[in-house]
Amino acid sequence: EIVLTQSPGTLSLSPGERATLSCRASPSVSSSYLVWYQQKPGQAPRLLIYGASSRATGIPDRFIGSGSGTDFTLTISRLEPEDFAVYYCQQYATSPWTFGQGTKVEIK
């Protein structure tokens, strides 16, 4: 199965700062099947990015997905108060689907 490793585990930043989240895949995964979700307490995961770099409907352009193969990145260019949450990467190229362990973006 494909293992996804996210780093860092926690990111402490202030509103207005840039957040860079990493997701590494082993073995490699097709970009077409790499997605990013945002999850806030008590809510279902919300799709942010699909196909590694395409924003889902209604997602602000401060969310930027990039990468291919084994290294993927989610960048939040300028953090807004509502962006503090947990972020997961996921692959659905092969069964079983696998997930990263999540990166928590918290207010510094």
Name the site residues for another protein (rule: CB under 8 A).
33, 35, 44-45, 47, 50, 56, 88, 90, 92, 95-99, 101-102
Q: How far is the CB of 69 from another protein (least distance, A)?
A: 19
For another protein, which is the closer residue by CB, 73 or 98? 98
On whether the CB atoms of residues 88 and 45 are closer than 8 A, the answer is yes
In DSSP terms, 20 is beta-bridged to 75
Q: How far is the CB of 17 from another protein (least distance, A)?
A: 25
Residue 3 burial (10 A CB sphere; 0-12, 13-18, 19+)? exposed
For another protein, which is the closer residue by CB, 19 or 52? 52
Q: How far is the CB of 78 from another protein (least distance, A)?
A: 25
3-class SS at 30? coil
Cα separation, 65 vs 55, in Å, equals 8
For another protein, which is the closer residue by CB, 16 or 96? 96
